Each structure stands twice: as C-alpha cells, then as structure tokens.
Amino acid sequence: MGAISSSLAVSHSSIAVSYLSSSSATFFLHYSPNLISNIIATLPTSRAPIFSNSPPSRRLPNDEAFLLFFARFIGIRSIRRNRRSARGVGSQTLPNLCQHLAGVAGELGVRCFGLEFAKRAGTSPGVGMVHAPFALLPMPIQEGFWKQACELAPIFNELVDRVSLDGKFLQDSLSRTKKVDAFTSRLLDIHSKMLEINKKEVIRLGLHRSDYMLDAETALLYQIELNTISSSFAGLGCLVSNLHRHLLNQHGKDLGLNPKRVPGNTAVRQFAEALAKAWKEYDNKRAVVMFVVQPEERNMYDQHWLSFLLKEIYPRGQIVAVVYFRAGYSPNDYPSESEWNARLMMEQSTAIKCPSISYHLVGTKKIQQELAKPLVLERFLEDEDAAKLRKCFAGLWSLDDSEIVKTAIERPELFVLKPQREGGGNNIYGDDVKEMLLKLQHEKNQEQAAYILMQRIFPTASLSYLIREGICHQNNAISELGIYGAYLRNNDKVIMNDHCGYLMRTKDSSSNEGGVATGFAVLDSIPIVTFKNLVGDSLTTLYLSANY
C-alpha cells in the first residue's frame, strides 16, 4: 500500500504520526512547541565556549554553571554542587577545581571538540573546548530494526576475521584499485610484505561499527558501510544516551516518552574491555596499549574517554601489547615516508594490531562491493548467516557494469559514487555523480576502478531540534544508526564476539554529509518503539505502543 498523506492522531496529544503505510514502519515524530520551549528553557543561557584561554578565575560563574549542567546530564555525580559545599569552598579552591575539571571534563565527555580558532585546542586537553553537538530529544527506531542490527554485529565481526585470512581474495579484489589509488596501493604493499614473510596474526582484535539507514520506500534497514578502523564516538555516544534519559526523566511524561525505552549504551566500556582482554592475551604485565592518533585532533575527548576507562582496568607499563589506531585511514595521516615506515614496523611487530592491515583492507569500499556479489558471502559464512547479511545490503556495483553506469548518468539522484576513502566528506552525490561518470567515460582510463556505485538510501525526515554551541536549531532531520562490534580471537579460541552499544547521528535532511566532527551531524540516541496494527490488512492507523 502506498503512503497515506494525512496525519494520524496518536493517544499522546504531543505526538503525531504521518506518512504511514502497510509496508513501512517509518514515521514523523512531532513534539509540542510549548513542551520544547519549556525544555530549551532549562539549557544554559551562555553561548560562549566554556574553556577559553583566559585564566579560570576570570570565568568561574559561566564555567561552573556549564560544568555542573552537563555533569548532571551525563551522570557525573562526583562534581555535583550543593549549597553547603559551595559555602565551604575557599577563594583558591574553586579556581583550582575548575582548572582541574577543564581537563577531566574533557576525558569524561563533558566537552567534545576543540575550537578550530583556539590555539592548542587540538593538542592540549581543556583548552578552547565546546560541548558536543547533540539532538535535544532522541530519534525513535522500531524494535524489529534494532534487534536486526544488533543480531548482525557478531556475524559481521566473524566475516571480517574470515575475509582477513584470505590474502589472495584481498589482493585480487583490490588489484585494479591499486593501480589508480596510491593510498590503497601503499596499504596493499604492506599487506604483500606480510604475506611474503608468512606473518600470522595469532591474536586478532577488531573494534568495528556497521552503519545503517532505514529506507522509507522499501521499509528495509540498509547498511551504509562497515568501519574496521577508527570506529569513533563510542565514548561520547554513550554520554548522549545518558543525557536523553535524564531529559526524559524530567519531561518524558508530558512528551509521552518512557526513558526506559532508551537502551543503555555500553559501547565505550565494552571497547575498553576488549582492549584489556587483548592486552591480557598478550600476557606481559609490563606492556601497554598504544593509541595512534592524529595531530591537532579536535575529537580527542572521545579517545580520552576510552583511555580513561582502560586505565581503570589495568596498570600501565612500557612494552606495547596492543596498537589501537585512531589514525591511519587517510592519506593525510602519511605526510612522509616516516609514517609509512612506522606503519610497516608496527605491522611486523608482535603487538596486537587493532586493526591489522588485513582487517583494515576488509573495510574498504571495494571489498564491501565484492562481498555483495552473488555467492561471495557464502565463501566465508554459513548460508543462514550469509542470508541475514545480504538482506541489509543496498545495491553495490563496480563501474565495469555499463548498464548501471548508464542508469546512474540518467538518474544520478538515485546513486552515491564512493571512492576508497574513510573519514567523511569524500562521497559524490546528485549531478556531481553524472559529471564524474561522464568524465571517467570520456578519459577512458583506469581511474574508474577507484570508485564504486551505491544505491542511495532515502530515510523519512522528522522534525528535530539540534543543539550546537549552546544554540538550538529546528530542522527536518534524518538519522543514521551505527552498531559497534568487538571481536577477539587467539588461535582457534574466540574470546569475544559481541555487539556492544550504538551510535546514533542525526543531521539536516538537506545535507549529504553526516560527520559529527565535521559539523554536519549531531550525536543522538534512540528510544526503541513497537507498533500495533489496529486495523489489519487495510492498515490506515498505527499507534505507538503504550509502554513507550
């Protein structure tokens, strides 16, 4: 049945559900403007960044208010202030406390990004910070889709591991890409060297994130990509879940939203546990976990949060047991031969790599497209598991397919052209797809091997309130769900294979890009909802279940 054009009233007066069909579980969620105004009124009034470069004593009132506000939202009770303690704080104690919190708050996720214009904001914790952009209220997801995404995580973990062991498959699948993409070529060179010396990764660790969107037309959950390196926001995403539960505890009754429907998000703790278990398997109590990070990293606090929890689990030492990459996925991370030599040295070492070079290559766009071909998944997985993964695959094609390229030139709005790049901001959309395809056809060179075509997914937009730098923006927005997965294996023993929390990102529906650090999206969370069909096959009305 096609979409219904009229809005359908729901039992809660503050919510309306629109554009529903018998084959679709997509919907718009609208909140009463009066309720939104009441919630926004509880936000801090200052719009200035909290931690500037001025001395703490000159900015105590605003800094303290913001710190306590965000600390309360994310459940940091240790810095909660009451009247008694406030009267007992000396003139020197409070400045020192705020100065200390400038760094600690970043590690605890109270602050997220260093401001681009602030000196040392990307290198020194506590300097020039601004709060993480977040959605005021969570974006619901149907329970069936949530369960599906969580069920797929361990299967994708196992798939990555099995594909990584097939060196010939990786080399053959990326051989044409290697000829036209210098970055992929260098990664494959390192991989080739490991094959030549028969280097075996006995202990294999993967911290992954599979990203999905719900397509409004088909009511299917489609995978956008599988991240096998630097799967970010495990730390800050958990904190936004806590923030939304707090908001719904305060205002959920008026909104008709149950805070218990927002699932607990344990991604950062489970990532830390996976790193700690890998360290334990390495079996050297003097060893450390080494984070490889980018210079001038504005998103350092997501990394600090994981590091903070990891330090609670085991003591530090000197020998490197685990190399955890939060860099190395972009050509910008290798400005000279020194960086490539360092990557090769780490790959040759006995340290556990997260990811290893083979895990890294499994996450490339070309491998994603190869795995979507008929019968390829079945090389690595049992038929039942392969069928579950294939159900979430969107259309993926190489540019060798002349018919699909012709269709993409005629209808470019239905496709995304993706290069072999990670980190956001690299994909091609709309009329630019047509122009690039025509350019590649005209030049008749091998550069087309550096790209894949993907079916574009069109989620339903919902009215949302997105908060950046203390200012609330009202937008029609769409969301992308990421499910984290952790995998640890020692020889034939699987020590850990779990889904472990989620990342919800929401952005303006008019935006093609979806990065949080790049300013396009905000961090969000999800209440899980169920739908009841009250009319049968002639479905015209759906209600949010009473327990939402």
Phi/psi at 426 (nearest 5 deg)? -110, -20
Q: What is the mean pLDDT of residues 169-181?
A: 94
Question: Over the stretch 62-116, which tens digit does the pLDDT of each residue have?
Answer: 334 444 444 444 433 333 333 333 323 334 433 343 333 333 333 333 344 545 5
| Helix (H) or strand (E) segment spanning residue 339 | helix 337-348
* Annotated catalytic residue 365: yes
Residue 506 DSSP symbol: E
Looking at residue 426, the DSSP 8-state letter turns out to be: -
Question: In the numeric block, which tokens belong to residue 56?
Answer: 């703490």
**Of the candidates 103, 101, 43, which has an alpha carbon nearest to the alpha carbon of residue 73?**
43
Cβ atoms within 10 A of the Cβ of 152, count?
Answer: 23
| Percent of the chain's residues with pLDDT above 70 | 70
The mean per-residue pLDDT over the stretch 187-214 comes to 96
- CA–CA distance, 382 with 379 (Å, rounded to integer): 8
Q: Give Cα 154 to chain centroid, integer Å.
A: 17
263-284 pLDDT, tens per residue?
889 999 999 999 999 999 999 9
- Indicate which residue of 418, 434, 456, 489 is catalytic: 418
Average pLDDT of every residue of the chain = 76
In 65-192, the DSSP E strands lie at: 113-114, 129-130, 134-135, 141-142
**Which helix or strand (DSSP H or E) is residue 160 part of?**
helix 143-164
Give the SS3 label for residue 351: coil
Q: By percentage, how much of the chain surpasses pLDDT 90?
A: 47
Where does the pLDDT of residue 37 fall: very low under 50, low under 70, confident under 90, or very high at 90 and above? low
Catalytic annotation present for 418: yes
Please state, as a whole number, how many other Cβ atoms lie within 10 Å of the Cβ of residue 171: 15
Is residue 536's pLDDT more than 50? Answer: no
- pLDDT, tens digit, for every residue of 427-471? 899 999 999 999 998 887 778 888 999 999 999 998 888 887 767
Taking Cα atoms as reference points, which of 460, 463, 542, 529 lies closest to residue 35? Answer: 463
Q: What was the pLDDT predicted at 123?
A: 55
Please give the pLDDT value at position 42.
52
pLDDT at 53 (0 to 100): 34
| Catalytic (active site) residue 277 | no
Q: What is the CA radius of gyration of the chain?
A: 24
Q: What is each CA distance from 476 to 252, 262, 415, 465, 511, in whole angstroms?
A: 22, 22, 22, 9, 11
Question: Which residue from 454, 369, 391, 371 is spatially nearest to 162, judged by alpha carbons?
Answer: 371
Tell me, yes or no, if 505 is annotated catalytic: yes
Residues 6+ apart with CB under 8 A from 91: none
Tell me whether residue 422 is one of the annotated catalytic residues: yes
Is 330 one of the annotated active-site residues of the chain?
no
Which residue in 414, 458, 416, 514 sits closest to 26, CA to CA? Answer: 458
CA–CA separation, 177 and 421 (whole Å): 12
235 counts as catalytic: no
- Counting Cβ atoms within 10 Å, is residue 199 exposed (0-12), middle (13-18) or buried (19+)? middle
d(CA 124, CA 304): 12
Q: 234-255 and 300-313 are packed helices; what angle lies between their axes, rounded to 10 degrees? A: 100
pLDDT at residue 464, rounded to an integer? 86
Of the candidates 109, 122, 126, 423, the residue annotated as catalytic is 423
pTM greater than the 0.85 cutoff: no
Q: What is the pLDDT of residue 361?
A: 97
Residue of 64, 107, 158, 225 with catalytic role:
225
Walk across the sheet containing 415-419 and list its strands.
396-398, 451-455, 415-419
Please report which confidence band the pLDDT of residue 515 belongs to, taking 50, 70 and 90 as the band edges: confident
Model pLDDT, residue 449: 86
Exactly one of 52, 173, 210, 232 is catalytic; which is it? 232
> Which pair of tokens denotes residue 439?
């350019």
Residue type present at position 13: S
End-to-end CA distance of the chain: 26
